[in-house]
Amino acid sequence: MNYNILVTGGAGYLGSTMVPDLLNAGYKVTVLDNFTFKQASLNHVCYHPNFSVVKGDIRIESVIAPLMKKADVIIPLAALVGAPLCSLDPVGATTINHDAITLMLKHLSKEQIVLMPTTNSAYGTGDENNHCTEESPLRPISQYAIEKVAIEKELMQHPNAISFRLATVFGMSPRMRIDLLVNDFTYRAVNDRFVVLFESHFKRNYVHVRDVSRAFQHALLNHDTMKGQIFNVGLSDANVSKKELCEQIQKQIPNFIFLEAPLGKDPDQRNYIVSNAKIEATGFKTEFSLERGIGELIKGYTMIKNSLYGNV
Protein backbone atom coordinates (compact mmCIF):
# COMPACT_ATOMS: atom_id res chain seq x y z
CA MET A 1 0.00 0.00 0.00
CA ASN A 2 1.34 3.45 -0.95
CA TYR A 3 1.16 5.07 2.48
CA ASN A 4 1.89 8.70 3.30
CA ILE A 5 4.10 8.41 6.37
CA LEU A 6 4.90 11.14 8.90
CA VAL A 7 8.12 10.50 10.83
CA THR A 8 8.76 12.84 13.74
CA GLY A 9 12.40 13.06 14.77
CA GLY A 10 13.21 11.58 11.37
CA ALA A 11 16.70 13.09 11.26
CA GLY A 12 17.78 11.27 14.44
CA TYR A 13 19.69 8.04 14.99
CA LEU A 14 16.79 5.74 14.08
CA GLY A 15 15.10 8.04 11.60
CA SER A 16 18.08 8.78 9.41
CA THR A 17 18.40 5.04 8.80
CA MET A 18 14.65 4.34 8.57
CA VAL A 19 13.58 7.21 6.30
CA PRO A 20 15.76 6.20 3.31
CA ASP A 21 14.54 2.60 3.75
CA LEU A 22 10.90 3.73 3.68
CA LEU A 23 11.52 5.82 0.55
CA ASN A 24 13.25 2.89 -1.15
CA ALA A 25 10.22 0.75 -0.30
CA GLY A 26 7.99 3.15 -2.26
CA TYR A 27 6.37 5.13 0.56
CA LYS A 28 5.91 8.89 0.67
CA VAL A 29 7.68 10.26 3.73
CA THR A 30 7.45 13.59 5.53
CA VAL A 31 9.95 14.26 8.30
CA LEU A 32 9.28 16.70 11.13
CA ASP A 33 12.42 17.50 13.13
CA ASN A 34 13.75 20.49 15.05
CA PHE A 35 17.38 19.66 14.08
CA THR A 36 18.58 20.34 17.61
CA PHE A 37 21.88 18.58 16.93
CA LYS A 38 22.47 20.53 13.69
CA GLN A 39 22.54 17.22 11.89
CA ALA A 40 22.54 16.91 8.11
CA SER A 41 21.77 13.22 8.18
CA LEU A 42 19.05 13.32 5.50
CA ASN A 43 20.99 15.29 2.88
CA HIS A 44 21.26 12.18 0.73
CA VAL A 45 17.47 11.78 0.34
CA CYS A 46 16.58 15.37 -0.56
CA TYR A 47 16.69 14.40 -4.24
CA HIS A 48 13.83 11.94 -3.74
CA PRO A 49 10.45 13.18 -5.06
CA ASN A 50 8.57 11.35 -2.28
CA PHE A 51 10.55 13.04 0.51
CA SER A 52 9.39 16.17 2.33
CA VAL A 53 10.90 17.83 5.37
CA VAL A 54 9.54 20.33 7.91
CA LYS A 55 11.63 22.06 10.55
CA GLY A 56 9.52 22.39 13.67
CA ASP A 57 8.68 21.30 17.21
CA ILE A 58 6.35 18.35 17.84
CA ARG A 59 5.07 20.07 21.00
CA ILE A 60 3.37 22.86 19.02
CA GLU A 61 -0.16 21.91 18.00
CA SER A 62 -0.27 24.23 14.98
CA VAL A 63 2.82 22.45 13.63
CA ILE A 64 1.91 18.80 14.22
CA ALA A 65 -1.86 18.85 13.57
CA PRO A 66 -1.84 19.78 9.84
CA LEU A 67 0.94 17.29 9.11
CA MET A 68 -1.01 14.52 10.82
CA LYS A 69 -4.09 15.24 8.72
CA LYS A 70 -2.16 14.28 5.57
CA ALA A 71 -0.65 11.10 7.01
CA ASP A 72 -1.85 7.50 6.79
CA VAL A 73 0.92 6.34 9.15
CA ILE A 74 2.64 8.18 11.99
CA ILE A 75 6.01 7.00 13.31
CA PRO A 76 6.82 9.16 16.36
CA LEU A 77 10.58 8.88 16.82
CA ALA A 78 11.12 12.36 18.28
CA ALA A 79 12.21 11.91 21.89
CA LEU A 80 14.87 12.60 24.47
CA VAL A 81 16.19 9.06 24.59
CA GLY A 82 17.76 7.43 27.63
CA ALA A 83 17.88 8.10 31.35
CA PRO A 84 21.02 10.33 31.35
CA LEU A 85 19.68 12.77 28.73
CA CYS A 86 16.29 12.96 30.47
CA SER A 87 18.03 13.70 33.77
CA LEU A 88 19.81 16.64 32.14
CA ASP A 89 16.52 18.14 30.94
CA PRO A 90 13.62 16.65 32.94
CA VAL A 91 11.14 19.33 31.85
CA GLY A 92 12.03 18.88 28.19
CA ALA A 93 11.84 15.11 28.62
CA THR A 94 8.28 15.30 29.96
CA THR A 95 7.05 17.72 27.31
CA ILE A 96 8.66 15.80 24.43
CA ASN A 97 8.40 12.17 25.55
CA HIS A 98 4.94 12.38 27.14
CA ASP A 99 2.99 15.58 26.52
CA ALA A 100 3.75 15.81 22.79
CA ILE A 101 2.69 12.19 22.23
CA THR A 102 -0.53 12.77 24.17
CA LEU A 103 -1.17 15.76 21.89
CA MET A 104 -0.49 13.60 18.84
CA LEU A 105 -2.88 10.89 20.04
CA LYS A 106 -5.59 13.52 20.46
CA HIS A 107 -5.41 14.30 16.74
CA LEU A 108 -5.38 10.68 15.54
CA SER A 109 -8.29 9.27 13.60
CA LYS A 110 -9.31 5.63 14.13
CA GLU A 111 -8.06 4.76 10.65
CA GLN A 112 -4.55 6.12 11.06
CA ILE A 113 -1.73 3.72 11.89
CA VAL A 114 0.81 4.46 14.63
CA LEU A 115 4.10 2.55 14.91
CA MET A 116 5.96 3.67 18.00
CA PRO A 117 9.29 2.75 19.57
CA THR A 118 9.07 2.31 23.32
CA THR A 119 11.69 0.56 25.45
CA ASN A 120 12.40 -2.67 27.26
CA SER A 121 14.28 -0.65 29.92
CA ALA A 122 11.09 -0.80 31.99
CA TYR A 123 11.50 -4.55 32.63
CA GLY A 124 14.08 -3.76 35.32
CA THR A 125 15.49 -7.12 36.36
CA GLY A 126 12.68 -9.30 35.00
CA ASP A 127 11.36 -12.30 36.92
CA GLU A 128 13.29 -14.46 39.39
CA ASN A 129 15.27 -15.88 36.46
CA ASN A 130 15.62 -12.45 34.79
CA HIS A 131 13.39 -13.57 31.89
CA CYS A 132 11.01 -11.11 30.19
CA THR A 133 8.20 -11.38 27.68
CA GLU A 134 5.67 -8.77 26.63
CA GLU A 135 3.48 -10.05 29.49
CA SER A 136 6.12 -9.48 32.18
CA PRO A 137 5.39 -6.81 34.81
CA LEU A 138 6.97 -3.44 34.14
CA ARG A 139 9.16 -1.88 36.83
CA PRO A 140 10.32 1.46 35.41
CA ILE A 141 12.78 3.37 37.57
CA SER A 142 14.13 6.34 35.59
CA GLN A 143 12.02 9.24 34.34
CA TYR A 144 12.67 8.05 30.78
CA ALA A 145 11.31 4.55 31.42
CA ILE A 146 8.38 5.78 33.58
CA GLU A 147 7.14 8.16 30.88
CA LYS A 148 7.62 5.60 28.10
CA VAL A 149 5.46 3.14 30.06
CA ALA A 150 2.77 5.78 30.63
CA ILE A 151 2.70 6.69 26.94
CA GLU A 152 2.55 3.05 25.86
CA LYS A 153 -0.62 2.61 27.95
CA GLU A 154 -2.21 5.60 26.21
CA LEU A 155 -0.96 4.45 22.82
CA MET A 156 -2.48 1.00 23.12
CA GLN A 157 -5.97 2.51 23.48
CA HIS A 158 -5.73 3.30 19.77
CA PRO A 159 -7.00 0.41 17.60
CA ASN A 160 -4.29 0.71 14.93
CA ALA A 161 -1.27 1.19 17.16
CA ILE A 162 1.76 -1.07 17.50
CA SER A 163 4.37 -0.61 20.22
CA PHE A 164 7.91 -1.86 19.71
CA ARG A 165 9.84 -2.35 22.95
CA LEU A 166 13.29 -1.94 21.52
CA ALA A 167 16.40 -3.59 22.87
CA THR A 168 19.55 -1.47 23.17
CA VAL A 169 20.21 -0.35 19.60
CA PHE A 170 23.64 -0.43 17.96
CA GLY A 171 25.25 0.15 14.57
CA MET A 172 26.36 2.99 12.32
CA SER A 173 23.82 5.63 11.31
CA PRO A 174 24.07 8.93 9.38
CA ARG A 175 23.13 10.66 12.66
CA MET A 176 25.46 8.69 14.88
CA ARG A 177 25.07 8.07 18.61
CA ILE A 178 28.24 6.92 20.30
CA ASP A 179 26.69 6.82 23.80
CA LEU A 180 24.71 3.58 23.19
CA LEU A 181 26.36 0.65 24.95
CA VAL A 182 27.71 -1.43 22.02
CA ASN A 183 28.63 1.73 20.12
CA ASP A 184 30.31 3.19 23.22
CA PHE A 185 32.32 0.10 24.16
CA THR A 186 33.47 -0.42 20.56
CA TYR A 187 34.48 3.24 20.31
CA ARG A 188 36.52 2.88 23.51
CA ALA A 189 38.10 -0.31 22.20
CA VAL A 190 39.11 1.39 18.94
CA ASN A 191 40.37 4.64 20.44
CA ASP A 192 41.36 3.92 24.06
CA ARG A 193 41.94 0.15 23.98
CA PHE A 194 40.35 -0.22 27.43
CA VAL A 195 37.12 0.22 29.39
CA VAL A 196 36.22 -0.04 33.08
CA LEU A 197 32.98 -1.99 33.70
CA PHE A 198 30.46 -1.70 36.52
CA GLU A 199 27.68 -4.24 37.02
CA SER A 200 29.55 -6.30 34.45
CA HIS A 201 27.31 -9.36 34.95
CA PHE A 202 24.13 -7.42 34.06
CA LYS A 203 22.59 -8.84 30.90
CA ARG A 204 20.54 -7.02 28.33
CA ASN A 205 19.30 -7.48 24.78
CA TYR A 206 20.59 -5.70 21.68
CA VAL A 207 19.33 -4.92 18.16
CA HIS A 208 20.92 -3.36 15.07
CA VAL A 209 19.54 -0.01 13.91
CA ARG A 210 18.82 -1.50 10.47
CA ASP A 211 16.84 -4.34 12.02
CA VAL A 212 14.76 -1.74 13.86
CA SER A 213 13.98 -0.16 10.50
CA ARG A 214 13.15 -3.58 9.09
CA ALA A 215 10.78 -4.30 12.00
CA PHE A 216 8.80 -1.13 11.26
CA GLN A 217 8.59 -2.01 7.57
CA HIS A 218 7.49 -5.53 8.53
CA ALA A 219 4.68 -4.02 10.59
CA LEU A 220 3.49 -1.93 7.63
CA LEU A 221 3.23 -5.08 5.52
CA ASN A 222 1.59 -7.13 8.29
CA HIS A 223 -0.43 -4.48 10.05
CA ASP A 224 -3.75 -6.33 10.10
CA THR A 225 -2.29 -9.20 12.13
CA MET A 226 0.00 -7.08 14.34
CA LYS A 227 -2.16 -4.05 15.21
CA GLY A 228 -3.15 -3.41 18.81
CA GLN A 229 -0.16 -5.34 20.15
CA ILE A 230 3.20 -4.86 21.85
CA PHE A 231 6.34 -6.54 20.53
CA ASN A 232 9.84 -6.88 21.91
CA VAL A 233 12.39 -6.25 19.16
CA GLY A 234 15.89 -7.61 19.65
CA LEU A 235 18.46 -10.24 18.74
CA SER A 236 17.41 -13.49 20.35
CA ASP A 237 21.02 -14.71 20.39
CA ALA A 238 22.29 -11.47 21.92
CA ASN A 239 21.08 -11.52 25.52
CA VAL A 240 24.60 -10.92 26.82
CA SER A 241 26.26 -9.29 29.81
CA LYS A 242 28.55 -6.27 29.60
CA LYS A 243 31.52 -8.56 30.17
CA GLU A 244 30.38 -10.93 27.42
CA LEU A 245 29.94 -7.95 25.09
CA CYS A 246 33.52 -6.90 25.78
CA GLU A 247 34.68 -10.42 25.03
CA GLN A 248 32.90 -10.22 21.68
CA ILE A 249 34.65 -6.92 20.90
CA GLN A 250 37.99 -8.39 22.00
CA LYS A 251 37.68 -11.08 19.32
CA GLN A 252 37.95 -8.33 16.71
CA ILE A 253 40.29 -6.00 18.66
CA PRO A 254 42.63 -8.43 20.50
CA ASN A 255 44.51 -5.71 22.43
CA PHE A 256 41.28 -4.38 23.96
CA ILE A 257 41.41 -4.59 27.79
CA PHE A 258 38.44 -4.42 30.15
CA LEU A 259 38.53 -4.16 33.93
CA GLU A 260 35.77 -4.48 36.52
CA ALA A 261 35.19 -1.99 39.35
CA PRO A 262 32.15 -0.86 41.42
CA LEU A 263 32.15 2.64 39.94
CA GLY A 264 28.54 3.19 38.94
CA LYS A 265 24.95 2.00 38.73
CA ASP A 266 22.56 1.59 35.82
CA PRO A 267 19.70 4.10 36.41
CA ASP A 268 17.19 1.53 35.10
CA GLN A 269 18.87 -1.53 36.68
CA ARG A 270 18.56 -3.40 33.39
CA ASN A 271 19.47 -7.02 33.94
CA TYR A 272 17.23 -9.29 31.92
CA ILE A 273 16.94 -11.92 29.23
CA VAL A 274 14.31 -10.79 26.74
CA SER A 275 12.18 -13.05 24.57
CA ASN A 276 11.60 -11.87 21.00
CA ALA A 277 9.52 -14.95 20.13
CA LYS A 278 6.31 -12.96 19.64
CA ILE A 279 7.56 -10.82 16.74
CA GLU A 280 9.47 -13.77 15.30
CA ALA A 281 6.19 -15.70 15.17
CA THR A 282 4.89 -13.04 12.74
CA GLY A 283 7.68 -13.94 10.32
CA PHE A 284 10.19 -11.27 11.30
CA LYS A 285 13.84 -12.26 11.56
CA THR A 286 16.82 -10.07 12.38
CA GLU A 287 19.65 -9.90 9.84
CA PHE A 288 22.45 -8.10 11.66
CA SER A 289 24.35 -10.02 14.34
CA LEU A 290 26.25 -8.47 17.22
CA GLU A 291 29.51 -9.66 15.65
CA ARG A 292 28.64 -8.05 12.32
CA GLY A 293 27.62 -4.82 14.01
CA ILE A 294 30.89 -4.60 15.95
CA GLY A 295 32.82 -5.04 12.70
CA GLU A 296 30.75 -2.29 11.09
CA LEU A 297 31.40 0.06 14.02
CA ILE A 298 35.15 -0.56 13.84
CA LYS A 299 35.07 0.55 10.19
CA GLY A 300 32.93 3.56 11.09
CA TYR A 301 35.26 4.70 13.85
CA THR A 302 38.11 4.72 11.36
CA MET A 303 36.29 7.70 9.82
CA ILE A 304 34.87 9.54 12.85
CA LYS A 305 36.25 10.56 16.22
CA ASN A 306 34.94 12.77 19.03
CA SER A 307 37.80 15.26 19.01
CA LEU A 308 36.04 18.64 19.05
CA TYR A 309 38.01 19.88 22.04
CA GLY A 310 41.15 17.80 21.62
CA ASN A 311 44.55 18.66 20.17
CA VAL A 312 44.78 15.56 17.97
Domain ranges of the chain: 4-170+206-235+272-286
**Per-residue pLDDT tens digits for 140-179:** 888 888 888 889 999 999 999 999 999 999 999 999 999 9
Mean pLDDT of 114-132: 81
Residue 265, pLDDT > 80, answer no
Return the pLDDT at 79: 87
CA distance 62 to 60: 6
Are 287 and 240 spatial neighbours (Cβ–Cβ below 8 Å)? no
Q: Per-residue pLDDT tens for 177-232? A: 999 999 999 999 999 999 999 888 888 999 999 999 999 999 999 999 999 999 99
Of all residues in the chain, the percent with pLDDT exceeding 90 is 73
pTM: 0.94
Within a 10 A sphere around the Cβ of 211, how many other Cβ atoms? Answer: 25
pLDDT tens-digit series, residues 169-184: 999 999 999 999 999 9
**Distance between alpha carbon 194 and the CA centroid of its chain, in Å?**
26
pLDDT more than 70, % of the chain: 96
- Is residue 310 predicted with pLDDT exceeding 70? no
Which CATH number does the domain 4-170+206-235+272-286 belong to among 2.70.70.10, 3.40.50.720, 3.30.565.10, 3.40.10.10? 3.40.50.720
More confident residue, 16 or 81: 16
Structure confidence at residue 126 as a pLDDT band (50, 70, 90) = low
Backbone angle region of 260, left / alpha / beta, with phi > 0 → left and psi within -120 to 50 → alpha:
beta
Q: Which residues, other chains included, contact 37 with Cβ-Cβ below 8 Å and sequence gap of 6+?
A: 12, 175
What confidence tens digit (pLDDT) does each residue in 33-88 have?
999 888 899 999 999 999 999 999 999 999 999 999 999 999 999 988 888 888 88
CB 199 within 8 A of CB 271: yes
Sign of the dihedral defined by the CA atoms of residues 252, 256, 259, 263, in that order: negative
